[in-house]
Amino acid sequence: MALFKSIGIVFRTVKYSETSLILEVFTREKGMRSFIVSGVRSAKARQKASLYQHLNILDFVAYDKDNALARIKECKIEHYYQRVTFDVVRSSIGLFILEVCKNSIKEQEANIELFDFIYRRLQLLDSDKDLNFGLFPIKFMLDMSKYIGFMPLNNFSESSPYFDLYNGRFISTSSEKYISELNSSRYIAMIDNTSLDALKAIMISKDMRNQILDDLIIYFRLHIDSFKELKTVSVLRSIF
């Protein structure tokens, strides 16, 4: 059976039998794939189950089986988190990113640009850069939409100041069904146009930040049929 080598982000880990794990991994080379790793939960295991915990970034070789559980032949950590694992703010954002990705990515085919985007954001979250963590999840969702097919048209203007969540563009009226309020719309346009480094200059109240995040979750739900309620949102709101 053919083998393939890739890096991948562990989206989900499920215990299987007494000593095994089933993994859902977003791989750079093959898209979403499911794997089984045997014996890692036993006391004498050469590789421990902690290697495969969710959010970990792996460098692995696996058997290539479409639409079926495949086995991982070799595996090691590709990136050791220095801050995400131990910092409650960074780890909470990381879990939010993971949940958004799990709800958004289903295809078993390569999307290298999307993978590299998520990979870079996780590395940035783990770096020592001075970041606006409060806006990091919002910026992630806006930027991710560009890679999964429903990038907003940022045509914001004084004559078109309302963000139409259904059509992904700014319009002149607030009478449509799925519309962000005026202030939320302004900040969505602003954050979308602002680099991650420059986000530090944007100061937004907690209530407004929560409103924007709620709007973007609706935006994702309108464009992804299987997008579920995000449990990590309540965690973000408890720490910011």
Residue-wise burial string across 116-149, b where 16 or more C-beta atoms lie within 10 A, e elsewhere? ebbbebbeebbeeeebbbbbbbbbbbbebbebbe
Helix (H, G, I), strand (E, B) or coil at 112: helix
Domain termination site, one of 79, 104, 130: 79
64 and 128 housed in the same domain? no
At residue 43, the pLDDT reads 63
Per-residue pLDDT tens digits of the chain, which is 240 residues long: 789 999 999 999 998 888 888 999 999 999 999 998 887 776 666 667 789 999 999 999 998 887 778 999 999 999 999 999 999 999 999 999 999 999 999 888 999 999 999 999 999 999 999 999 999 999 999 999 999 999 999 999 999 999 999 999 999 999 889 999 999 999 999 999 999 999 999 999 999 999 999 999 999 999 999 899 999 999 999 988
Residue 5, H or E segment? strand 3-16
- One-character DSSP codes across 159-214: SS-EEETTTTEEES-S-SSSB--HHHHHHHHHHHTS-TGGGGG----HHHHHHHHH
| Count of the separate structural domains present in the chain | 2
23 and 140 housed in the same domain? no
At residue 19, the pLDDT reads 81
55 and 127 housed in the same domain? no
At residue 16, the pLDDT reads 86
38 and 92 housed in the same domain? no
Domain termination site, one of 79, 99, 133: 79
38 and 94 housed in the same domain? no
CATH number at residue 216: 1.20.1440.120
205 and 111 housed in the same domain? yes
Domain extent at residue 174: 88-239
168 and 68 housed in the same domain? no
159 and 228 housed in the same domain? yes
107 and 173 housed in the same domain? yes
Nearest to 34 by CA among 5, 2, 8, 3: 8
User: CA 15, 2, 66, 224 torsion: positive or negative?
Assistant: positive
Helix (H, G, I), strand (E, B) or coil at 91: helix
At residue 46, the pLDDT reads 66
Question: Angle 190-196-201 (CA atoms, 0-180°, nearest 5)?
Answer: 60
Taking the complete model, does pTM exceed 0.85, yes or no? yes
Structure tokens that stand for 75 in this block = 């595996």
Nearest to 23 by CA among 230, 58, 226: 58
124 and 153 housed in the same domain? yes
Question: Angle 141-204-154 (CA atoms, 0-180°, nearest 5)?
Answer: 45
Q: What is the largest CA-CA distance in the chain?
A: 67
At residue 9, the pLDDT reads 98
120 and 46 housed in the same domain? no
208 and 96 housed in the same domain? yes
Domain termination site, one of 79, 96, 113: 79
CATH number at residue 44: 2.40.50.140
